[in-house]
Amino acid sequence: MGYSHYWFQEHGAIEEPVWRRICNDVEKLIDACQVRLSATVNGSAPPIVDAEQIVFNGSPESEGYEAFAMHRVPKNHFYFCKTAGRPYDEVVCAVLAVAAEYAPSAVRVISDGPAENWQAPVGWASDVLGRSVPNPIL
């Protein structure tokens, strides 16, 4: 199954204060998720959320697929994460929604799935973060 999410970082680095806000929320989302995440598909390392990058995948038990990797200073302008709709997809969508919310001029998101597929992940992120996180696909 080729279900993927795509994002563009066309305008250079995400400013450090904005990146810190994104990372703070991503850490809350990772802590709250019911899916075991790892930085690698074999489950050998915890997710990475630091001053330069956010990297995670589903662990072997949660059927990881391709790693999600977002960089504060983009190495490219176009990124994607093929999740095949596996359980960690909810976290990928939530992280992309938060990044697009805080850095709308720096992060533009598109998806193989329609906006309706994002309702549950965005709703979950809103519940975890205690605010309304906008759907980046609308």
Closest by CA to 22, choosing from 87, 97, 83, 81, is 97
pLDDT tens-place string over residues 39-69? 977 778 999 999 999 999 998 776 889 999 9
Stretches where the chain sits below pLDDT 70 are: 1, 62
What is the reported pTM?
0.95
Q: Give the pLDDT score at 64.
A: 85
